[in-house]
Amino acid sequence: MRKEIVAIVAMAALLAVAGGARSDQAELDTDLMHSIEDSNKSLASNIAIKETRGASSDAKELTEMFAQVEAFYARKGDAPDAVELAKKSRALSTQILQSVSTSDFGAATDSATTLSRTCKTCHNYYKKS
């Protein structure tokens, strides 16, 4: 009888953990999205004041974070537009990094503006209120 109780408790714990992991995967981490928003604001500021080191750091971080967003939506499987928007955002972040590395802050500004619009487009479709 004791072995049956232990087995039932173990199974319940396993199901609870599996269910929690599954629900975590069902939605994009809000902390990640806040980090993207903060990094994007910092990037815009660093580009405006022509701060190469800060803009490069922000662009690298954004490239990595957009890769996570892309992977999330690819796994989710029912949001091809979000996958494409995340790919576009990652590519724009890479372009910004390249522009900043050559001190082409005009091109970096243009890419950053497009990046902000791309974020807004995705939010219009996928952001939960």
Summarize pLDDT for 9-39 with one digit per residue, the tens.
Answer: 444 444 444 443 334 445 778 899 999 999 9
Retrieve residue 46's tokens. 């660093």
35-88 pLDDT, tens digit per residue, is 999 999 999 999 999 999 999 999 999 999 999 999 999 998 888 999 999 999
| Structural domains of the chain in order of their starting residue, each with its CATH number | 28-126 (1.20.120)
The Cα–Cα gap between 57 and 67 comes to: 16
Tokens, residue 2? 């004791």
Of 59, 42, 40, nearest to 100 by C-alpha is: 59
Q: Tokens 């807004």 belong to which residue?
A: 120
d(CA 24, CA 13): 16
- The whole-model pTM stands at 0.77
